[in-house]
Amino acid sequence: MSNRSLRFWARNRTNARLTAIAASALVVTLGAVSWFVWSSPDSPVREAADTVVAAANPLTAQNALLQQQLKTAKGQVASQNGKLKNAAAAAAASAAAHAKQVASLQQQLARTQDQLGALEAESDTGTGSGDKGSSGGKGSGSKTTNATKPPKVPAAGSPGGDSTPGGTEKPDEDPAAVITAPSRDSLLHPEHRYFGMYTEQAPFNWATLDATAKKIGVEPNVVGYFSGWDEDFRVSAVQRAWQQGRLPLMTWESRPIAAGNNSNSAPEYSLPTIIGGGFDAYLHQYAKDIVATGLPLAIRLDHEMNGTWYPWSELNGSGKAINGNNVGDYVKMWRHVHDIFQAEGANALVIWVWAPNIINNMQPSSHTTQEFLAGYYPGDDYVDWVGLSGYLRPPWRAGNDFTAGYTFDRSLDQLRTLTSKPIFLAEVGASETDGHKPGWVKTFFEQFHDSKNADIIGFSWFSLAITSYVGGERSTNDWRIDSRSDSLAAFAEGIADPAADFTLIPAD
């Protein structure tokens, strides 16, 4: 390259060096100025740059706002969760208080019913609309009797016993002062067999029982009713029963009276709780109240224990505990209750009835053996009568010939293997389903003709129509004596047969 081609600032080496030095100084100076401008907080250039950066990043402010909103929402959620927990706790406390209030109201209702029962005793006519036609099952209307109806209690101030307009004598204003009853010992071994009945509201109202008795032509001398362990002893039930000359048979269930039969769970009433003394105060007072009446009664305590449907049973079909109970607890419970009554003197008035369920389709096979039943028996020292609950009821087992022998014989054999105590069929009935009832009723009374059944001292018929669940299906069974005319006729004829040896009290 020729010297002519050099730029003016680099025509020689000296100029070139000076030019390079000047350029470097300029760069340093510009850098210093730039640093000063950018590092100064009040610099308009810096503010302009920040504005440009903010404009270039619009999501920064929005993100900060969203973060703040998220924080606020989290706080609100935490606050609502706290309020929800407090509300749940308050609801639980309210429910517990409500349950206690309901229990208290139930007790008040029971006491009120007792008072109403006593008032009804003063005005109850005791009459019913009996069917006297040919379908009523009375035949010619004449019956062989081996007993007469006990006299009514005279009204106060009326030696002759003034009657109410309906025809039933009015009881004394103080029924406890005039009511009498046979001795317990004479009741234990009756001269003739007992005929008992469960009906709606008896013994607190006799309308249904008396109406049915008129259709049969014979009055029952046993009246059955139910009571729970949330109820005090119902004095009026026993008094009203004996006013009519009837032995009261109380089925006493260790659970609340309003409990449904669709559950076998009642933890507060478990057998270990009873054995451990959880109900001792209640039991002592109950026994004292019985003694105060001076009147005998039969108590069927926690019946059908060999099934799986009540909370006083011990095992289900899989061998698992029911209601927290242990094997052997039922016997311990029974003896515990019996011992308390003995200590209070109540056993001088009480006939203890131990009544399992018959062998049938409702039980698992493991619950139908002799050994299983024996595990529930408290012993002869603690039992006065043994009994059974037994029904003609669907579903039908193969081989069922629809006779009372098929229904009861196997279970009666098990009872007789356990003990020689008198047998009282404490709860019996027959369903109208499929039309087998009249024939079954006929065989039911024929079984009393057989000498092998001489130890059966009577029965109590469950004369109600009940809807329940069997095998998970809803079913209505009409157990009433007068459910149909042919069933009623078979019953009336059977009980009047002298060979059956029942106490026959003509119905008014």
HSE-CB for 102 with a 13 A CA cutoff: 10
Percent of the chain as helix, strand, coil, to the nearest 5: 50, 15, 40
Our answer to whether residue 304 is catalytic in this structure is yes
Question: With the C-alpha atoms ordered 251, 252, 253, 255, is the resulting torsion angle positive or negative?
Answer: positive
- Alpha-carbon distance of 478 to 464, in angstroms, equals 6
Q: How far apart are CA 22 and CA 24, in angstroms?
A: 5
For residue 168 the two structure tokens come to 């039933």
Contact 419, 383 (CB under 8 A): yes
- Catalytic: which of 169, 231, 344, 427? 427
Of 472, 474, 407, residue with least CA distance to 436? 407
432 flagged as catalytic: no
Catalytic, out of 219, 231, 253, 304: 304
| Contact (Cβ atoms closer than 8 angstroms) between residue 415 and residue 388 | yes
Quick one: three-class SS letters along 190-223?
CCCEEEEEECCCCCCCCHHHHHHHHHHCEECCEE
Burial string for 19-45 (b: 16+ CB within 10 Å, else e) reads: eeeeeeeeeeeeeeeeeeeeeeeeeee
* Cα–Cα dist 352/161, whole Å: 35
Catalogue the active-site residues.
304, 427
